[in-house]
Amino acid sequence: MPTELEYRIALTQVPQIGCVAAKTLLQHFGNATDIFKAKKSMLSAIDGIGTVRAESIKQYTDFELCSSEVAFIEKHHIQPLCLLDEAYPKRLLNCYDSPTMLYYKGEANLNQSRIVSIIGTRKNSDYGKHCVQELMESLAAHEVLIVSGLAFGIDTLAHRDALKHKLPTVAVLAHGLQTIYPAENKKLAKQMLEEGGGILTEFMSGTGPDKHNFPTRNRIVAGMADATIVVETDVKGGSMITAELANNYNRDVLAYPGKITDSRSRGCNHLIKTNKAALITSGQDVLEMMNWLPQEKKAPAQRSLFIELSADERILYDLLQPSPLHIDEINLRSQLSASAVATALLTLELQGVVASLPGKMYKLL
């Protein structure tokens, strides 16, 4: 009889069952075991599943593969994270295509209060190198988790400079944890693990760094951070895909401008020009835009009593009483739909009850 973990892994291998369908099923049943034990008629009746997917689940039998993966996980001290788990990166839960399973090795907190992803070209200039170095110097004192993809260029600089300034850093990989790609960064990955960072992937062991895996990986880089910072990139490539994903996930995107004659800055300039990224010139800009600088404590003003708050507005009002919250945290803790939260927040803003802050934070006035 397969274990719950083996059933969770199996769910990622069933044909016709992608991340969206798997998320629907896990939210419906509360565990993976009951999904595979459910009758076909029960599965097909779930919205978004239907008879084809239900049949695919009932026909899946390759649990030996899942058992082998569990053996690999245990041998290499890997932490499997299902979207039902407490340690799963909660920011990803608000992405419609949250990975069903993640495989994590390391000690960094994937739910740290401040997380930025740093992306850019594999062929950076000295200007890009300077931007990353200055950025890390600015973030060093603010307990920020640095996420990148361990690629050559900007990714490597981000990880190395994070380590230099004692910042935890996590690499999101486009392959299984049986290897490190590129091989030249094996030593860097080892150092990250030794110094409290981590390596993360949604791919099972044995999966190679195939080209089509990288755009899939990029959605994790975009979705698990509060902001994505683009240092240097041309108008086409993985960094632009990641920036687009971050915008679609309602994350902040920040970009360093560059010379109009430099192909390595064309992508950043385009993002800024089309209002898909905020222009930054320093790490201080990031801290200010994300509202991560220490705030002066003021004597609390007595709030007026509001009599005519709707039920949804009252839920958000009570949530925001202790301290400002990020939009993702509001969505998670309110247990309201995203549209209901947006409507209630807008109404509260118009009434002068709530104010929006940089970094998609909200506070009571």
Q: In what order do the strands lie in the sheet with 325-326?
A: 325-326, 361-364, 354-357
Q: Average pLDDT, stretch 196-223?
A: 96
* Cβ neighbours for 58, distance < 8 A, ≥ 6 positions apart: 40, 43
d(CA 28, CA 160): 42
Residue range 232-253: mean pLDDT, rounded: 94
The secondary structure of residue 142, as a DSSP letter, is G
- Residue predicted with more confidence, 318 or 174: 174
How would you write 315-359 as a 3-class SS string?
A: HHHHHCCCCCEEHHHHHHHHCCCHHHHHHHHHHHHHCCCEEEECC
Please say if the pLDDT value at position 305 is more than 70: no
Query: For residue 103, is pLDDT > 90?
Result: yes
Instruction: Give the pLDDT score at 326.
Output: 81
More confident residue, 281 or 308: 281
Higher pLDDT, 355 or 125: 125
Classify residue 232 by its DSSP letter: S
The pLDDT confidence band at residue 353, using thresholds 50, 70 and 90, is: confident
For residue 304, give the DSSP letter.
Answer: P
- Percent of the chain predicted with pLDDT > 90: 79
- Quickly state the pLDDT bin for 294 (edges 50, 70, 90): confident
Q: How far apart are alpha carbons 159 and 146 in whole angstroms?
A: 7
pTM, entire model: 0.84
Walk me through the domains of the chain, giving residue ranges and CATH numbers.
1-75 (1.10.150.20), 106-289 (3.40.50.450), 311-364 (1.10.10.10)
Q: Say yes or no to pLDDT of 40 above 80.
A: yes
More reliable by pLDDT, 304 or 335:
335
Residue 161, Cβ neighbours under 10 Å: how many?
Answer: 22
Query: At residue 33, does pLDDT exceed 60?
Result: yes
pLDDT at residue 76 above 90?
yes
Is the dihedral angle over the CA atoms 131, 135, 136, 138 positive or is it negative? positive
pLDDT score, position 327: 86
Give, rounded to a whole angstrom, the gap between the first and last alpha carbons of the chain. Answer: 56
Going by pLDDT thresholds of 50, 70 and 90, the confidence category of residue 77 is very high
Better-scored residue on pLDDT, 99 or 304: 99
Q: Alpha helices, DSSP H only, in 106-169? A: 126-139, 154-164
328 vs 173: which has the higher pLDDT: 173
Stretch 199-211: mean pLDDT = 96
User: How far is Cα 22 from Cα 5, in angstroms, rounded to an integer?
Assistant: 14
Average pLDDT over residues 214-230: 96
Mean pLDDT of 92-105: 95
Cα–Cα distance between 317 and 107 in angstroms, integer? Answer: 35
pLDDT for res 307: 53
Q: Could you tell me the pLDDT band of residue 302, with boundaries at 50, 70 and 90? A: very low
Please report the pLDDT score of residue 299 as a whole number.
Answer: 47
Average pLDDT of the chain, as a whole number: 93
Over residues 102-118, the mean pLDDT reads: 96
Phi then psi for residue 8, to 5 deg, are: -65, -45
234 close to 263: Cβ distance less than 8 angstroms: yes
Give the range among 89-103, 181-195, 284-298 with minimum mean pLDDT.
284-298
Instruction: Please determine, for residue 300, whether its predicted confidence score (pLDDT) is greater than 50.
Output: no
Place 360 in a pLDDT band, splitting at 50, 70 and 90: confident
Q: Is the pLDDT of residue 57 over 60?
A: yes
**In DSSP terms, which residues pair with 356 in a beta bridge?**
362
pLDDT single digits (tens) 265-288: 999 999 999 999 999 999 999 999
Question: Who contacts 159 (Cβ-Cβ below 8 Å, separation ≥6)?
Answer: 146, 148, 150, 169, 171, 188, 192, 197
What pLDDT shows up at residue 356? 85
Q: Are 146 and 168 in contact (CB under 8 A)?
A: yes
Q: Which two tokens stand for residue 160?
A: 């190395």
Tokens representing residue 324 in the block:
């400002």
Of residues 67 and 331, the one with the higher pLDDT is: 67
